[in-house]
């Protein structure tokens, strides 16, 4: 489960313009703005896919189309052979930061992920299992405001995993985290992925995140955005671009591709 096929996907929005109504300046409808141009991609079951690209190029738009939150202008996304026509909470879970409900405890927030499990005992076990997995044991009755930034992110992760989706979508999951929490949560995501093998799509701005986590790296760019690179990574974990020459070369290639010079 969790095989994603994206075929000839195009997306446009109507540009928003300030409309000044009046006899000399009638309302002008906005022009069409093309965001995604003919995207063709295939993500295999259980793959960890890291999406890179400059800000505003359309990464979140692509994720929204895969999650069914928005419709394509043309082309289609199919998951396990079924065309995506709207959101489906059973199959896809979108991991959002600041997605915890502030009036609910960690336990209750994670419980939201397992509300489909009918048996109360099985539900309790599943909640505890996921809370333990992200190392939040003993913080079950804490409210989000009583947790650190890294702990909140781990609780969000527990909720996402408890939902047991076929596809896990993470748009910039490390946003706003300090350096150490970023490293720790990245490691936890990689470990969980090794264990659970869910198809996982991660948007990140950090090339090293993509190199260390991805089974596949996709770079998007241009206006409208096209796929600039789609590379499968067969390097085993743990990965270190400093010790692995091929990984180091790919790192250089990605920096060049994204127009950044890191040798300053
Ligand atoms: N609902 C919308 N209506 C109109 N334009 C939109 C809409 N959503 C996104 N856009 C435009 O689509 C483009 C791509 O946006 P998107 O959020 O997908 O970029 P992104 O690659 O995720 O950027 P970032 O890395 O900054 O998050 C932007 O130019 C944005 O203004
Ligand atoms: Mg985005």
- Cβ atoms of 202 and 173 within 8 Å: the answer is yes
pLDDT per residue as tens digits for the range 215-226: 999 999 998 999
**Confidence at 162, pLDDT banded by 50, 70, 90:** confident
CA distance 246 to 72: 37
CA distance 208 to 43: 21
Cα-to-centroid distance, 57 and ligand 1 (Å) = 7
- Cβ atoms of 133 and 165 within 8 Å: the answer is no
Helical pair 179-196 and 149-162, crossing angle rounded to 10 deg = 10
* Closest-approaching ligand to the CA atom of 221: 1
Ligand 1 atom with the smallest distance to the CA of 57 is 21
Is pLDDT of 204 > 90?
yes
Q: Which two tokens stand for residue 127?
A: 């909640």
List the shell of residues around ion ligand 2, using CB closer than 5 Å.
Answer: 60
**CATH entry 3.40.50.300 includes domain 1-11+33-42+52-91+165-237:** yes
Residue 203 is predicted with a pLDDT of 94
Is pLDDT of 15 > 80?
no
pLDDT per residue as tens digits for the range 20-30: 555 555 545 57
Ranges of each domain in the chain: 1-11+33-42+52-91+165-237, 100-164
Residue 12 is predicted with a pLDDT of 92
Specify the 3-state DSSP secondary structure of 218. Answer: strand
Residue 163 is predicted with a pLDDT of 84
* Residue from 150, 145, 149 nearest 134 by CA: 150
pLDDT per residue as tens digits for the range 30-41: 778 889 999 999
* Closest-approaching ligand to the CA atom of 223: 1
Residue 137 is predicted with a pLDDT of 93
State how far Cα 19 lies from the chain centre: 35
Cα-to-centroid distance, 10 and ligand 1 (Å) = 14
Cα-to-centroid distance, 56 and ligand 2 (Å) = 7
* Closest-approaching ligand to the CA atom of 39: 1
- Alpha helices by DSSP H, listed for 22-163, are 59-67, 106-113, 120-133, 149-162
pLDDT per residue as tens digits for the range 99-158: 899 999 999 999 988 877 888 899 999 999 999 988 899 999 999 999 998 899 889 888
Percentage of the chain exceeding pLDDT 90 = 54
Tell me which of 16, 51, 60, 218 to substitute to probe ligand 1's pocket, judged by most ligand atoms within 8 Å of the beta carbon. Answer: 60
Cα-to-centroid distance, 169 and ligand 2 (Å) = 12
pLDDT per residue as tens digits for the range 172-182: 988 888 888 88
Region class of 2: left (phi > 0), else alpha (psi between -120 and 50), else beta: left
Q: Which two tokens stand for residue 72?
A: 């394509």
Residue 262 is predicted with a pLDDT of 61
Residue 23 is predicted with a pLDDT of 58
pTM of the model: 0.87
Lowest mean pLDDT, pick from 22-31, 72-81, 85-94: 22-31
Tell me which of 33, 61, 220 to substitute to probe ligand 1's pocket, judged by most ligand atoms within 8 Å of the beta carbon. Answer: 61
Residues 46, 48, 54, 56: is their CA dihedral positive or negative? positive
Query: If you average pLDDT over every residue of the chain, what do you get?
Result: 88
Residue nearest to atom 30 of ligand 1 (CA): 56
Other CB atoms within 10 A of residue 134 CB? 23
């Amino acid at each position: 489960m969790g095989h994603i096929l994206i075929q000839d996907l195009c997306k446009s929005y109507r540009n928003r313009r300030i409309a000044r109504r009046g006899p000399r300046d009638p309302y002008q409808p906005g022009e069409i703005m093309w965001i995604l141009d003919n995207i063709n991609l295939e993500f295999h079951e259980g793959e960890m896919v890291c999406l890179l690209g400059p800000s505003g190029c359309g990464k979140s738009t692509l994720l929204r189309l895969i999650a069914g939150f928005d419709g394509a202008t043309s082309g289609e996304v199919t998951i396990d052979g079924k065309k995506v026509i709207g959101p489906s909470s059973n199959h896809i879970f979108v991991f959002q930061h600041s997605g915890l409900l502030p009036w609910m405890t960690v336990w209750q927030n994670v419980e939201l992920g397992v509300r489909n499990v009918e048996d109360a005992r099985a539900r309790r076990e599943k909640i505890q299992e996921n809370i333990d997995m992200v190392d939040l044991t003993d913080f079950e009755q804490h409210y989000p405001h009583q947790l650190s930034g890294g702990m909140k992110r781990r609780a969000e992760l527990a909720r996402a995993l408890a939902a047991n989706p076929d596809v896990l979508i993470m748009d910039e999951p490390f946003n706003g985290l300090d350096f150490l929490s970023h490293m720790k949560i990245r490691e936890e995501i990689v470990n969980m992925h090794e264990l659970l093998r869910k198809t996982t799509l991660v948007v990140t701005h950090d090339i090293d995140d993509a190199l260390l986590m991805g089974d596949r790296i996709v770079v998007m760019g241009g206006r409208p955005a096209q796929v600039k690179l789609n590379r499968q990574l067969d390097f085993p974990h743990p990965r270190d671009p400093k010790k692995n020459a091929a990984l180091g070369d790919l790192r250089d290639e990605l920096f060049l591709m994204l127009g950044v010079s890191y040798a300053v």
